[in-house]
Amino acid sequence: MQEKFYLTTAIDYVNGEPHIGHAYEKILSDVIIRHKRQIIDNAFMLTGTDEHGIKIQKTAASKGITPKELCDENFSKFEAAWKELEISYDKIIRTTDLQHTKTVKKIFSKLLENGDIYKHSYTGLYCSGCESFLSPKDLTEDGLCPDHMKKPEEITEENYFFKLTKYKDKIAEYIKSHPEFIQPSSRVNELLNQLENIEDISVSRTKSSVQWGIDVDGDESQTIYVWIDALSNYITAIGYDIDNPDEQFKKLWPADVHVIGKDIIKFHSIYWIAILMSLGLPLPKTIYAHGWITIDQSKMSKSIGNVIAPHDVLMAFNLDKPDAFRYYMASAALIGKDGNYSDEDFKEKVNADLANNIGNLLNRTLNMLVKYFDGEIKNEFITDKTSKIAILAENTKTQIIEAFNKYEIAEASNLIVSFADFVNKYVTETAPWSLAKEGKMLETGKVLYNVLEAMRHIAILLYPYCPNISADILTQLSQNTDFKYTNLVWGKLQAGKITEKDKIKPVFLRLDSEFATDKKKG
């Protein structure tokens, strides 16, 4: 039995407000951590915000406020967004936190002491959008940054550099010998190719260029750069200290997975790994690089005007709870692939899967239980684990655990829907209404029990995606809302009064239904 699971997300840059791309990563991460909590007790999720750098400095100046005031303002928006989406992180770190800044200074000094940081005068092509130096081969044919389509500025500075090249071969060997390290594995060759041409990296900027950041101890003319500042959050947040790390750090590190976007995989799989090697710390088990979310098949862009905030989706569809949005986003893309959001697809998918497939199945079965048995399950209705539906329930649980272990989150959701499909077909084929009409009440009762016990399993399996819908399903079955996998044993739905007519309500209203449209009016 796994004793702990430590998951981190990328930390969001607070130069702007949260959008659907930020939400995608946080929902993916939350689904993973909720699943792990169903199986083990010590599962910990870290998220946070990246709050230093020239872009924040410039934006704050343009607004006539301090960088810290800008960070505070936007941090509160990220925090509110994650609360609304019910992201169940255990800690949210800010890189302006005092403990983080103190530890980052110590980490920088340790790397310097180890001989892995040196000072060097350097002329390079700097992109302010990336806040990074680019090499000529990184640019387009027109000499532009491929991400921001602007020409980098040639800058000469004396900065501190980290000896990334020293760890080049060691990192390549580690990637090759640990197949679980990079997920999806399709990104491995990309990283190995990047390693071939890797150079030492600047880990500081002059104060004349960037004032808003953490000073280098002993050299206040220099500001510690993002590679050490931001990346170190994964260890500083859980109590890492050069001399005396906290017990929490000892229990949680190394991270079991860093969940990040595919655009920053190089920094996590090469830069961060080299820093950890220099510090003599164990390496994270897996770096999972998810794809991007497009809007109506177009990349999000402020200039196009298609940047969507998650709050706006909830408001547009009158959603009191985030379950439908969480489900859609978590199932939007297969592992590592890009996904797409559109209002029409969102409505169609959640109506089909949550309202029609799962919600309607529960509703009509409970109504039959009331009609034929006054809402009561009798002892003789309870079936054993050798039935076809019970075997499929057990197999589905096993397959979902395997999918989550490989971070196949959308694939796992498809398994739940497939199981619900099977149960719906089972109802059609057995036709309990016909059995009851023929007076075969024992057979009718067994069919209804199988369906309701399957619904209990579906509620537990669906919980990481839709915690509120899952709780509503268990409540309608008169069950405790305990979502641990230890409860995924066939036959735990006991005999007794389950429901009454006036207690049966849809657990999810179709988005185009009259009730869904009007539920917030008045």
Q: Give all strands (DSSP E) within 59-149, no chain letters.
A: 91-94, 117-127, 132-134
Q: What is the spatial distance between Cα 305 and Cα 210, in angstroms, rounded to a whole number?
A: 30
Active site (annotated) includes residue 311: no
Catalytic position from the list 102, 106, 130, 151 = 130
Active site (annotated) includes residue 290: no
CB of 336 within 8 A of CB of 183?
yes
Active site (annotated) includes residue 71: no
User: What is the full DSSP assignment across 412-429?
Assistant: HHHHHHHHHHHHHHHHHH
Active site (annotated) includes residue 19: yes
Looking at the DSSP bridge assignments, the partners of residue 8 are 46, 258
Catalytic position from the list 26, 55, 71, 145 = 145
Structure tokens, 357: 């497939």
Active site (annotated) includes residue 437: no
Catalytic position from the list 299, 388, 484, 492 = 299
What lies within 8 Å, CB to CB, of 352 at 6+ separation is none
Active site (annotated) includes residue 22: yes
Active site (annotated) includes residue 388: no
Catalytic position from the list 127, 258, 321, 446 = 127
Q: What is the spatial distance between Cα 437 and Cα 426, in angstroms, rounded to a whole number?
A: 18
Most distant CA pair in the chain: distance in Å? 90
Strands 182-183 and 287-290: parallel
Within 13 A of 302's CA, how many CA atoms are on the CB side? 5
Q: Which amino acid is at 473?
A: I
Upstream peptide bond of 179 is cis (omega within 30 degrees of 0):
no
The alpha-helical segments, DSSP class H, found in 463-490 are: 467-476
List the catalytic residues: 19, 22, 127, 130, 145, 148, 299, 302
